Amino acid sequence: MRDREKARERAHELVSRMTLEEKASQLRFDAPAIPRLNVPAYNWWNEGLHGVARAGVATSFPQAVGMAASFDADLLKEVGRVIADEGRAKYNAASRKGDRDIYKGLTFWSPNVNIFRDPRWGRGQETYGEDPYLTAEMGKEFVKGLQGDGDYLTAAACAKHYAVHSGPEALRHEFDAEVSDKDLYETYLYAFEKLVKEAGVEAVMGAYNRTNGEPCCGSRTLIREILRGKWNFQGHFVSDCWAIRDFHTRHMVTATAEESAALALKNGCDVNCGSTYLMILKAYQDGLVTEEEITTAAERLFTTRFLLGLFDETEYDRIGYDRIECREHLETADRATAESVVLLKNNGILPLKREEIRAIGVIGPNADSRSALIGNYHGTSSRYITVLEGIQDEAGDGIRVYYSEGCHLYRNRVEGLGHPNDRISEAVSVAENSDVVVLCVGLDENLEGEEGDTGNNYASGDKKDLLLPESQRELIHAVLQAGKPTVVLNMTGSAMDLRYEQEHADAVMQVWYPGARGGRVVARLLFGELSPSGKLPVTFYNSVDDLPAFEDYSMKGRTYRYFEGTPLYPFGYGLTYGDVQVESVSCGGKTFAAGNGAAWNPASGDGAAQAAGDAVLADPAEGTTLTVRLVNRSAVATEEVIQVYIRDTESAFAPANGKLCAFLRVFVNGGGTVEAELHLDRDAFTIVDESGARRQDGTRFLVSVGLGQPDPRTKELTGKENVVFALRHEAD
């Protein structure tokens, strides 16, 4: 394992030879060279959310929320490895030429482990969804893959945006996210803590907003007391870009740039993405910071640089340029796309049957859109394969492929001099001349993204509602009224109102932003070469009427854990081309069969669980292991995701609808059976109380094991029963 103490000693020795001015200069994100000490310039700002970004060609993966839909933590670890590998290859090539520019270092400001609590948030596409446990498990493995397990860090990961950060984008520079201690520790900090304690993430980035009155990048509570105090974080802390400037210009908690720099530095922010730390020396002269505080920050930053081996010869120096977009990496990207697509509805039209298709119509503004492939924070691909191109290639010579853009992504006409809806008649003609239609709708990074993107409404990045743009809604109605069998592909990074599509289309797929070459994999899924197997990492609501105010950070009424209504598509939901069922579950010396009648909601009684007897939970602190047996009653081989939910039946602090506590992706052959083991760790049997303390508060727990949640809507959509049983711990 890498030696942090040795790196810290080397950093201390190097920094001790610097002048005050030199030390202060190293706290900038674009740290200059110190030639007399053989310290090269280093730019801390790099991005690797779903592939090395903004630095030229690199392998392009699906956007993060799409990869979260895979429910495959091992996949995220492999994705992290690919990004680190290509990051090293690009760093080696650039640094040998003296190129130390932005986006060319080895400190990647990824992953984003904020909780996607509200589907209106434009940056939710960057996250792993709405659930703290899923976010933590995916984030941990991504960090482990990115940082590697060698003597040096392959690359340095960064958990962002710390903390309680998920919109509104338009208000983020002055917004105060007010949150209870329970919600803070149960929901908003959970993944950050896991990445620090269990994955050793090297960096944490502060958020733009305030949390309970304190600006996050200068918060004594968040940085000093929790991150470095309670969690013993040993890495470095970086501000979000120009967030420290907001202290005195937007949050109004300080009066000058010097005071803002001092507040951030004194509370543990080591490197400033922005320009406010140019005032560090003035702050020192004014007595607002000490040289010791400047020294401490510099030493933390050089500790990371030594851990990366930037002053040594390492095994990573031999990683060559041939690793960029190599076949192995592209195959990993294809796997990620295949696992991410979620089949939401299928009346039997899918997979498409070649022998029954003479012509296929591909319609919609995202059918041939490169922007709809890549999401935000993306790199450059040497090749893009849109959905249209993928279908054209997959169809071959035997099937005619017609195409119509159908409408502009959001304007009411494609051609500036045309009439409104100037492409709809063409789209209907395509539908009428086709045996089956693939209708590609959705958004792109210009309609949902980060504050300041030029194409989004009011430059806020967020959606005002869950509706597709009016131009697309009119197209969808016109095409579906043509009466041809139609598959709707929704390409967005967030949940949308798809009620009309669910009611009128023959099939609906959530494709997310599937990566630069994702169109090829989507086509293979449509034609049945692969079975879709993704699960929703977010709840799809019916409309914004189901949601609390966007600015309200209470979890009441939010996400599957606390939502009181009926969703359109539940968290964890997704169909396949197979027919897999959880047949039985063994735990604590007992075996429970599917359809045993045990009820998840105690209000409706759980007599069957009582009659079967509770399984024994020997020691909640040690957790327990489940053995799950699955059977595939179809001839179609497919991957599936076992999901385990748990609910404390006795604690008033437990989420009303239970919580995800384990998951595992498995492959099941047609007609085959599989046994898999899943471990429920100690957190599964705890609650977080109103003071923010995590503790055991009950002795009896209901456990649901299935391929989705144990809620009525999932059962209605899938027609399948989960195995539900009770676990009891008899206290001494």
Q: Report pLDDT digits (tens) over 544-577.
A: 999 999 999 999 999 999 999 999 999 999 999 9
Q: Does domain 327-562 have CATH number 3.40.50.1700?
A: yes
What distances in angstroms separate CA 670 from CA 524, 579, 631, one per listed residue?
18, 9, 9
Phi-psi region of 571 (alpha: psi -120 to 50; beta: other; left: phi over 0): beta
The answer to whether residue 612 scores a pLDDT higher than 60 is no
Q: 0.75 cut: is pTM over it?
A: yes
**For the segment 375-434, what is each residue's pLDDT rounded down to a tens digit?**
999 999 999 999 999 999 999 899 999 999 999 999 999 999 999 999 999 999 999 999
Which two three-digit tokens encode residue 343?
């089949």
What distances in angstroms separate CA 391 from CA 519, 527, 529, one per listed residue?
8, 9, 13
**Residue 52 amino acid letter:** V
What is the rounded distance in angstroms from the CA atom of residue 210 to the CA atom of residue 193? 19
| Reported confidence tier of residue 460, pLDDT bands at 50, 70, 90 | confident
| Reported confidence tier of residue 151, pLDDT bands at 50, 70, 90 | very high
- Known active-site residue 240: yes
Place of tokens 């054209």: 392
Q: In terms of Cα–Cα distance, which of 548, 68, 28, 69 is closest to 272?
A: 28
| Reported confidence tier of residue 594, pLDDT bands at 50, 70, 90 | confident
Longest Cα–Cα distance in the chain: 80
Q: Does domain 580-728 have CATH number 2.60.40.10?
A: yes
CB 195 within 8 A of CB 113: yes
Place of tokens 């110190």: 34
DSSP 469: P
Please report the pLDDT score of residue 597 as a whole number.
Answer: 66
**For the segment 177-199, what is each residue's pLDDT rounded down to a tens digit?**
999 999 999 999 999 999 999 99
| Reported confidence tier of residue 459, pLDDT bands at 50, 70, 90 | low
The answer to whether residue 610 scores a pLDDT higher than 70 is no
What is the rounded distance in angstroms from the CA atom of residue 279 to the CA atom of residue 257? 7
The answer to whether residue 458 scores a pLDDT higher than 60 is no
Average pLDDT over residues 309-316: 96
Write down the H helix ranges in 49-96.
64-68, 73-96
Average pLDDT over residues 131-141: 98
Average pLDDT over residues 126-155: 98
Please report the pLDDT score of residue 596 as a whole number.
Answer: 75
Burial of 347 (0-12, 13-18, 19+ CB in 10 A): exposed
Tell me the domain boundaries of the chain.
327-562, 580-728
Phi-psi region of 396 (alpha: psi -120 to 50; beta: other; left: phi over 0): left
23 φ, ψ to 5°?
-60, -45
Burial of 317 (0-12, 13-18, 19+ CB in 10 A): middle
Percent of the chain with pLDDT over 90: 94
210-211 and 400-404 as β-strands: parallel, antiparallel, unpaired?
unpaired
Indicate which residue of 118, 183, 240, 546 is catalytic: 240
Percent of the chain with pLDDT over 70: 97
The answer to whether residue 455 scores a pLDDT higher than 90 is no
151 φ, ψ to 5°?
-70, -25
The answer to whether residue 119 scores a pLDDT higher than 50 is yes
**For the segment 277-302, what is each residue's pLDDT rounded down to a tens digit?**
999 999 999 999 999 999 999 999 99
CB 523 within 8 A of CB 391: yes
DSSP 701: E
